Amino acid sequence: MNPHPGRWPLPQYDYWSTPFAESLVQHLDLHAGLQILDVASGHGIPAFYLAEHVGPTGAVLAIDVNPGQVARARAIQGSQLPWLRFDCIDMRALPSDLPSFDRITGNLSVMFFRPDRFQAVRGLVAHLKPGGQLVLTFPSYGTFDSLWQRVDQAMIQQGLRTERERFQTYLNERPSASEVRGWLEQLHLEHIDVSEYPLEVATGPGRDFLHHPLLRGGFLDDVYECFEDQRLAEEFMVTLSRNTHNFTPLIAQRCVLSGRK
């Protein structure tokens, strides 16, 4: 039995990670005693939730390539849930001595599998026990399309040819639901399920948009990175932000990829 049932729910204050984690849990066959590898674990959504539900007869290894995220998760954990361990490991290059797991999960993970997402998934499947389940979530192709169309139009109007070429390269890298299904089919997984759930992200104009916690530090930064001249990037984005009614509401596609070995 868990010593503190219900103590580690998915936090409702996290308006990005938690909705994706809720989708992950909906597709995950979860029970006590499981050995779980959670990749791109960040500060612990959903690792803490998973650890509570597998209980002391199970184990969760949560890995992230960012030492700061690992340190933050360990600080939150303290001495609790001793069968949960956070470690700094690159999921794209898992150690050869890493054991196999009953479940491998990754919330908002697929975007970090670059440069070769398929090989990263293949590496994860190699550490999945026969009969084990892989469940990954990510914002799939179609996420914030209204914004990307407006960015593309503005780049055309302003004659930003080089920046637009870079932007198109970024857009073409985004995985679609059909593409990720193909990965699991190539790896001969069974009971494959790929589902998408829309999520609206509310924002206002100006600073509210440019510094939105769910947009800056991720999606908007991808636009900034298309510019060599960051002053020009800032001017471009400030102009864009004045008329958010042209591309709102912003809809993210929560995609869940699940399959069994």
Measured in residues, the chain has a length of 261
Tell me, yes or no, whether 94 lies in a domain: yes
85, 185: one domain: yes
Tell me, yes or no, whether 247 lies in a domain: no
128, 210: one domain: no
Q: 43 lies in which domain range?
A: 17-140+175-200+253-260
How do residues 44-76 score in pLDDT, each as one tens digit?
Answer: 999 999 999 999 999 999 999 999 999 999 999
124, 150: one domain: no
212, 96: one domain: no
Tell me, yes or no, whether 93 lies in a domain: yes
- The arithmetic mean of pLDDT across residues 177-185, rounded, is 96
* DSSP designation for 189: -
Tell me, yes or no, whether 105 lies in a domain: yes
Residues 205/241, Cβ–Cβ less than 8 Å: yes
213, 185: one domain: no
Q: How far apart are CA 214 and CA 27, in angstroms?
A: 24
* DSSP designation for 4: S
CATH number at residue 184: 3.40.50.150
66, 81: one domain: yes
Tell me, yes or no, whether 114 lies in a domain: yes
- Please tell me whether residue 221 adopts helix, strand or coil conformation: helix
Q: How many domains does the chain have?
A: 2
pTM of the model: 0.91
Q: Does residue 1 have a pLDDT over 60?
A: no
CA pseudo-torsion sign 29, 35, 36, 42 = positive
How do residues 186-237 score in pLDDT, each as one tens digit?
Answer: 999 999 999 999 999 999 999 999 999 889 878 999 999 999 999 999 999 9
30, 158: one domain: no
Cα 252 off chain centre by? 12
Tell me, yes or no, whether 180 lies in a domain: yes
162, 189: one domain: no
Predicted local confidence at residue 87, as pLDDT: 98
- The arithmetic mean of pLDDT across residues 96-120, rounded, is 92
Tell me, yes or no, whether 2 lies in a domain: no
82, 161: one domain: no
100, 113: one domain: yes
181, 238: one domain: no
186, 66: one domain: yes
